[in-house]
Amino acid sequence: MADTDIAPIMTTRREEATGFFQKLVSKGLGWARKYSLFTYPYATACCGMEYMSVAASRHDISRFGAEFPRFSPRQADLLMVVGTINLKQAPILKRVYEQMTEPKWVVAFGVCASSGGFYDNYAVLQGIDRIIPVDVYIPGCPPRPEQVLDGLMLLQDKIGNQVHRLRDPGQPNETAAHHARMLEAGK
């Protein structure tokens, strides 16, 4: 019989275990992150026109804090996959996702990005969720700008309700440690 079988285990809820200051900081970070989304539009097909109309003055995605598209994955935190992804593009999309900094979110824009659409053949990826995790799916062929704004608001609610943590100074920086290992290896 192990010691863990004998000793009583006390469990607490996560919300009750976090302190007041940590909750306050988490709410502040959630508010700031949900209204400062830097999008990386990975547009490949006809849905790209609908993405452009969402950024136009009539629908104005800038009201939701997502007006500045970034065309470098290192400067973006929201990957909007807009259109059909074929199997040759899948490794490129995965690399773009891996190059994005944390925290990062993914939106599947349109039915082709969500499920492959009506392209049920050997060359088309049947949903981007087979290679990268997706946070919000926006249906439609092509989706209306109002649907895109609804999807963006769903993502903002998800971001605002997440638990955001301050970095623990006791933990090493993973990126810096990886860079130091690469320098030591001479690459």
Predicted confidence (pLDDT) per residue in 108-135, tens digit: 988 888 887 777 788 888 888 888 888 9
Give the residue-averaged pLDDT of 44-60. Answer: 79
Give me the pLDDT at residue 15, please.
53
Is 97 part of any known ligand binding site? no
Is 47 part of any known ligand binding site? yes
- Does 10 score more than 70 pLDDT? no
Is 122 part of any known ligand binding site? no
Is 46 part of any known ligand binding site? yes
CATH placement of domain 35-161: 3.40.50.12280
pTM of the model: 0.72
Give me the pLDDT at residue 171, please.
55
φ, ψ for residue 105 (rounded to 5)? -135, 155
CB 166 within 8 A of CB 27: no
